[in-house]
Amino acid sequence: MLDSSLQQLGSALRARKISSVELTQLYLDRIAALNPALNAYITNNAEASLAQARAADMLLSEGKAHPLTGIPVAQKDIFCAKGWRTTCGSKMLENFIAPYDAHVIKQFNNAGAVNLGKTNMDEFAMGSSNETSYFGAVKNPWDQKAVPGGSSGGSACAVAARLCAAATGTDTGGSIRQPAALCGVSGLKPTYGVVSRYGMIAFASSLDQAGPMARSAEDLAMMLNVMAGFDERDSTSLQRDKEDYARDLEKPLNGLRIGLPKEFFAGGLSNDVAQAVETAIAEYRKLGATIVEITLPNSRLSVPVYYVLAPAEASSNLSRFDGVRYGYRAPEYSDLTDMYEKSRAQGFGAEVKRRIMIGTYVLSHGYYDAYYLQAQKIRRLIAQDFTEAYKQCDVIMGPTSPSTAFKFGEKGDDPVQMYLSDIYTIAVNLAGLPGMSIPCGFGSDNMPVGLQIIGNYFDEARMLNVAHQYQLATDWHSRAPQGL
Amino acid sequence: MTWEIVIGLEVHAQLSTSSKIFCGASTAFGAEPNTQADAVSIALPGVLPVLNKGAVERAIKFGLAVGAHIAPRSVFARKNYFYPDLPKGYQISQFDLPVVGNGQLTIHVPASGKTAAYEKTVRITRAHLEEDAGKSLHEDFHGMTGIDLNRAGTPLLEIVSEPDMRSAAEAVAYAKALHTLVQWIGICDGNMQEGSFRCDANVSVRRPGSPLGTRREVKNLNSFRFLEQAINYEVQWQVNTLESGGAIQQATVLFDPDKGETRMMRTKEEAHDYRYFPDPDLLPLDISEEWKKQVRATLPELPHVKQARYVKEFGLSAYDASILTASREMANFFETVLAAVPGDVKMCANWIMGEVNAQLNRDGLEMTQCPISAQQLGGILQRIADNTISNSGAKEVFRTMWAEGGEADTIIEAKGLKQVSDSGAIEALVDEIIAANADKVAEYRSGKDKLFGFFVGLAMKASQGKANPAQLNEILKQKLAG
């Protein structure tokens, strides 16, 4: 049952071979057993989950089921869910009970899915290893001394360790794709604007995008069908016709043109990852694809550009956490300024504070033009590179992360090293393009490697097709960590 | 040597939308604290702004009314600073790309002392949309501060003028003209007590012909009287400072209406760095020609256009025309009354500017609260025009109507105010008077013309005030002439 696809689980539920309550309980028991070690979840609420499961069972018995009705889904703790503690991985929101549902949560509720719990994450989604979570790091289920990636590390771990059927994540610079790669699961960051950001706690508004994490492309398509869609409460949400992201899954790949950016295979890429990605590309040739070398000349600037723009937006987005209306307030302070300073100094962790300071600096009078405006210009150049590239190819492929999962503490002292672990994913966010990561093998350390697939705008259905055909031909995605 | 005063105004007009600028919460004034503060107003984690089109329409309306440029694309920016009544830690405003730019407003500066009244055009630099903050309540909380976020997110149009004004009187005239205009075009209720229309003044002084002096911004001017007082105080302070050898530092000062003084809030060095940047949660605001056209179609005839028309079409003096267009209600009142007695422009104007205004002033009422409708007043004037009642009878009808309501004809009937226009009746009455006052008649006929008034008085009294005065005069003159 734990290895079943969402399709199979849905069939079993609709056939009443298992009830949603039983399935939910199965996962809750497994979470109770494994989560103390893995720390994938920050909050579980068996009562709330089982209540949703019972409601789902009613719908199932009445034959009113949606494909995801009754299926337990883990929600990244960045989404406000009414009545659920929503921490964003921060002490600042340690005791914050959300009084409303994020659009994504509402979509899952409407579909009759069960909220299985809120998954751990880097604080305010700022991190690539989950080490910045106030609630302790998530362990990589393949090797508990290794990081799961971040910031959606809890969701990636939960999917890999079979602590949920599927999960949600968010991706600002790689936060779905990189942990998916490091934990050996599939993850998709849609085109910016496809999934509403309403109720998703903002890190960098122009880059943040929610997406699904699951064990296969097929599952991702089902999840995205629930998550995507126009929402008038998010002004950046795109008004488009509803589409079925699973519609092209079965299409053969004959004639598919895969672009390989030469910049993604240069220095800094580990041999293990390079080898696994090259083997995957070879598999695609077998599936009928042709390979084109492309260039993304400005992509080398994506990390510095990102670390100007994302902190700039974050410094402003996180101003609302001031101890006045909700969230952490320092127990003692002398006056208003002292209250702000102490509450924020004590409520935020080091990485969050670092980014607030960087962001405040680059927006400051006298520096704005040199940093923020300049970065915006380069952002447009980076997007243009992709537009050029898509004249020659249909999808772009490369590594998701330069290495397999690194060990805890390995990059903790050097933020720049940590930032570089997102070197292949960040340009996609800057351009607003859809990107995904699927498992494509293992390194010599027996840790998973992710293949990144970058599509043109709104090409999610094609990307899922490309991933699914690979997953029909290989079994990397169905490997599970042993010995848990 | 004289000093030249240089003033520019920044006016915050609260736009009259029923919901806030970026969410659906109500903007109604006076509700219990925080009952109009939804998830967006209190800036819960994860909430997002959605622009209220009604606020944009009002901004476009204003831009069109002052002949300004409406930006086809403007941008919302975040102004970042911490304050407890600013829930997001930033205010959504517009910075380098405002929705309205380059307009102008003609003002009438009233006569004062030796200076005659004059007109002047003040340039409007820009007007931009932004959200209001909440309120900090310092009373009743025993050393703590209460926060009311009902006002947070209320739409404002900040209207910035060029430093074109040269006296407090000009600044007040400009503020008043703007105040009239925003109400006239229906974008702001103009209620200054409730803070719907607030002024900040940038004041500096210089020697005539010299470059601009250093300015100080005077905040918190929520009445025209305070605006005038604050500017006069501030100018005097700056002149005194400069004349005693000091220099003016750029600063923001607060007007204290109790003391009639301005006091320092912060200097330029202490000014915030607001770290403006485009709000990534909002798309650029695109305004099409089509949208502008639609809004233009909803614009009423503007005050200055109406004024010019009153002068040209009705032959009113510029002064009368300006009084009758002091507000849209006033102009509507005038035009409705005039419709009852077409052609009698001067009578309508006199009644409104005389009786009506005087009575409103006595009762401390606004035009909108006038107990007599334009139709009712029109009813009275019709009866003057058709000689049913005399002017003094009309005043009595007016007083009764003001106090008790009712229609002119009913009151005339009830009070027996119908004047006698039957020449036979008047002649009989005059004959009687002449017969009873032979000595005075003789005096009159021997050249004592002044006695004419005496006879009029007697005749009026005899008719109980109902005799048609013109007719009476004529008949009296004839009969007295013998």
pLDDT tens per residue, range A392-419? 999 999 999 999 999 998 887 788 888 8
Average pLDDT over residues A427-454: 98
Convert chain B into a string of H (helix), E (strand) and C (coil). CCCEEEEEEEEEEECCCCECCCCCCECCCCCCCCCCCCCCCCCCCCCCCCCCHHHHHHHHHHHHHCCCEECCEECEEEEECCCCCCCCCEEEEECCCCCEEEEEEEEEECCECCECCEEEEEEEEEEEEEECCCEEECCCCCCCCEEECCCCCCEEEEEEECCCECCHHHHHHHHHHHHHHHHHCCCCCCCCCCCCEEEEEEEEEECCCCCCCCCEEEEEECCHHHHHHHHHHHHHHHHHHHHCCCCCCCEEEEEECCCCEEEEEEEHHHCCCCCCEECCCCCCEECCHHHHHHHHHCCCCCHHHHHHHHHHHHCCCHHHHHHHCCCHHHHHHHHHHHHHCCCCHHHHHHHHHHHHHHHHHHHCCCHHHCCCCHHHHHHHHHHHHCCCCCHHHHHHHHHHHHHHCCCHHHHHHHHCCCCECCHHHHHHHHHHHHHHCHHHHHHHHCCCHHHHHHHHHHHHHHCCCCECHHHHHHHHHHHHHC
Residue A319 to residue B47, Cβ atoms within 8 A: no
Nearest to A245 by CA among A296, A195, A174, A180: A195
Tell me how close the Cα of B295 comes to any Cα of chain A, in angstroms.
23
Q: Angle CA(A59)–CA(A64)–CA(A70) in degrees, nearest 5?
A: 45
Tell me how close the Cα of B283 comes to any Cα of chain A, in angstroms.
7
Residue A199 to residue B51, Cβ atoms within 8 A: no
B280 touches chain A (CB under 8 A): yes
CB distance A449 to A440 below 8 Å: yes
Give domain status of residue A389, yes or no.
no
Give, as one character, the DSSP assignment of residue A119.
Answer: E
- Cα–Cα dist A132/A124, whole Å: 9
Residue A201 to residue B46, Cβ atoms within 8 A: yes
Give domain status of residue A466, yes or no.
no
pLDDT band with cut points at 50, 70 and 90 for residue B451: confident
pLDDT of residue B372: 94
Burial tier of B389 (Cβ tally within 10 Å: 0-12, 13-18, 19+): buried
Catalytic residue selected from A19, A20, A49, A76? A76
Residues from chain A that touch B273, judged by Cβ atoms under 8 A, are 364-365
pLDDT of residue B1: 66
A364 touches chain B (CB under 8 A): yes
Tell me how close the Cα of B5 comes to any Cα of chain A, in angstroms.
31
Residue B46 to residue A325, Cβ atoms within 8 A: no
Domain check: are A174 and A65 in the same one? Answer: yes
Average pLDDT over residues A320-328: 97
Domain check: are A201 and A319 in the same one? Answer: no
Give domain status of residue A414, yes or no.
no
Q: Where are the alpha helices (DSSP H) in A39-129?
A: 46-61, 103-111
Residue B265 has pLDDT above 90, yes or no: no
Residue A364 to residue B82, Cβ atoms within 8 A: no
Give domain status of residue A95, yes or no.
yes
* Token digits of residue B52: 């209220």
Residue A236 to residue B281, Cβ atoms within 8 A: yes
| ipTM of this predicted structure | 0.96
Residue B319: CB partners within 8 Å, gap ≥ 6? B117
Q: Which of A314, A346, A377 is the last residue of a domain?
A: A377
Domain check: are A36 and A126 in the same one? Answer: yes
Count the domains in chain A.
2
- Cα–Cα dist B174/B180, whole Å: 10
Does B189 or B420 have the greater pLDDT score? Answer: B189
Residue B246 has pLDDT above 90, yes or no: yes
pLDDT of residue B428: 85
Residue A324 to residue B88, Cβ atoms within 8 A: no
Burial tier of B437 (Cβ tally within 10 Å: 0-12, 13-18, 19+): middle
Give domain status of residue A398, yes or no.
no
pLDDT of residue A319: 98
Domain check: are A205 and A315 in the same one? Answer: no
Closest alpha carbon within chain B to A361: B275
A214 touches chain B (CB under 8 A): no
Mutate to test the interface with B, among A208, A322, A360, A362 (most CBs of B within 10 A): A322
Q: Which of A471-480, B63-72, B149-158, B412-421 has the lowest mean pLDDT?
A: B412-421
Average pLDDT over residues A71-96: 98
Q: Angle CA(B372)–CA(B352)–CA(B178) in degrees, nearest 5?
A: 100
Residue B143 has pLDDT above 90, yes or no: no
- Catalytic status, residue A151: yes
Domain check: are A306 and A228 in the same one? Answer: no
Mean residue pLDDT of chain B comes to 92
* Token digits of residue B240: 């005194």
Query: For residue A174, which amino acid is it?
Result: G
Q: Considering the entire predicted model, what is its pTM?
A: 0.91
Q: Which of A325, A343, A377 is the last residue of a domain?
A: A377
Mutate to test the interface with B, among A319, A340, A373 (most CBs of B within 10 A): A319
Q: Which of A105-114, A264-273, B47-56 has the lowest mean pLDDT?
A: A264-273
Residue B386 has pLDDT above 90, yes or no: no
Task: Express each pLDDT in B15-58 by its tens digit.
Answer: 999 999 999 999 999 899 999 999 999 999 999 999 999 999 99
CB distance B157 to B12 below 8 Å: yes
Give domain status of residue A65, yes or no.
yes
Query: For residue B232, which amino acid is it?
Result: N
Counting every residue written for chain B, the total comes to: 482
Residue B305: CB partners within 8 Å, gap ≥ 6? none
A360 touches chain B (CB under 8 A): yes
Mutate to test the interface with A, among B20, B41, B44 (most CBs of A within 10 A): B44
Tell me how close the Cα of A172 comes to any Cα of chain B, in angstroms.
14
- Catalytic status, residue A270: no
Tell me how close the Cα of A41 comes to any Cα of chain B, in angstroms.
20
Closest in B48, B88, B275 to A320, CB measured: B88
| E strands in A332-425 | 395-399
- Cα–Cα dist B137/B142, whole Å: 11
Q: Where are the alpha helices (DSSP H) in A243-301?
A: 271-286
- Cα–Cα dist A149/A181, whole Å: 8
Q: Which of A265-274, B85-94, B166-175 has the lowest mean pLDDT?
A: A265-274
CB distance B161 to B123 below 8 Å: yes
* Token digits of residue B56: 């944009």
Give domain status of residue A229, yes or no.
yes
Domain check: are A330 and A232 in the same one? Answer: no
Average pLDDT over residues A76-101: 98
Closest alpha carbon within chain B to A362: B275
Residues in A 91-110 with any Cβ partner in B closer than 8 A: 93, 96, 98-100, 102
Residues in B 212-271 with any Cβ partner in A closer than 8 A: none
Nearest to A452 by CA among A389, A390, A399, A401: A399
Q: Which of A18-32, B109-123, B437-451 has the lowest mean pLDDT?
A: B437-451
Residues from chain B that touch A79, judged by Cβ atoms under 8 A, are 46
Give domain status of residue A458, yes or no.
no
Query: For residue B224, which amino acid is it?
Result: F
Average pLDDT over residues A59-88: 97
Whole-number percent of chain B with pLDDT over 70:
100
Tell me how close the Cα of A206 comes to any Cα of chain B, in angstroms.
5
Domain check: are A104 and A180 in the same one? Answer: yes
Supply the CATH number for residue A59's domain: 3.90.1300.10
Task: Express each pLDDT in B313-324 by its tens digit.
Answer: 999 998 899 889
Closest in A197, A319, A324 to B48, CB measured: A197
Nearest to A185 by CA among A210, A208, A207, A152: A152
- CA dihedral sign, ordered A298, A121, A199, B82: negative
Cα–Cα distances in angstroms (integers) from residue A299 to residues A125, A150, A172, A427, B189, in the given order: 22, 21, 16, 6, 53
Provide the 3-class DSSP secondary structure of residue A339: helix
Mutate to test the interface with A, among B19, B41, B48 (most CBs of A within 10 A): B48
pLDDT band with cut points at 50, 70 and 90 for residue A390: very high
Does A97 or A483 have the greater pLDDT score? Answer: A97
Give, as one character, the DSSP assignment of residue A329.
Answer: -
- Cα–Cα dist B294/B95, whole Å: 26
Mutate to test the interface with B, among A209, A316, A321 (most CBs of B within 10 A): A316
- Cα–Cα dist B340/B328, whole Å: 19
Domain check: are A179 and A244 in the same one? Answer: yes
B78 touches chain A (CB under 8 A): yes
Residue B50 to residue A86, Cβ atoms within 8 A: no
- Cα–Cα dist B420/B404, whole Å: 26
Q: Which of A377, A404, A437 is the last residue of a domain?
A: A377
Cα–Cα distances in angstroms (integers) from residue A309 to residues A174, A234, A377, A440, B134, in the given order: 15, 20, 11, 32, 29
Closest in B49, B82, B280 to A322, CB measured: B82
pLDDT of residue A323: 95
pLDDT band with cut points at 50, 70 and 90 for residue B446: confident
Domain check: are A27 and A119 in the same one? Answer: yes
CB distance B162 to B8 below 8 Å: yes
Tell me how close the Cα of A294 comes to any Cα of chain B, in angstroms.
31
Domain check: are A101 and A192 in the same one? Answer: yes
- Cα–Cα dist A43/A31, whole Å: 11
Whole-number percent of chain A with pLDDT over 90:
96
Mean residue pLDDT of chain A comes to 97
* Token digits of residue A111: 């579909």
- Cα–Cα dist A295/A55, whole Å: 52
Domain check: are A118 and A239 in the same one? Answer: yes
Average pLDDT over residues B182-195: 95
Residue B138 has pLDDT above 90, yes or no: no
B24 touches chain A (CB under 8 A): no
Provide the 3-class DSSP secondary structure of residue A163: coil
Closest alpha carbon within chain B to A80: B46
CB distance B287 to B250 below 8 Å: no
B89 touches chain A (CB under 8 A): yes
Average pLDDT over residues A89-117: 98
pLDDT of residue B266: 86
* Token digits of residue A84: 């659920």
- CA dihedral sign, ordered B91, B95, B100, B103: positive
Residue B482 has pLDDT above 80, yes or no: no
Domain check: are A28 and A133 in the same one? Answer: yes
Average pLDDT over residues A136-156: 97
- Cα–Cα dist A273/A443, whole Å: 7
Strands B90-94 and B76-80: antiparallel
* Domain housing A354: 300-377
pLDDT of residue B415: 83
Residue B277 to residue A316, Cβ atoms within 8 A: yes
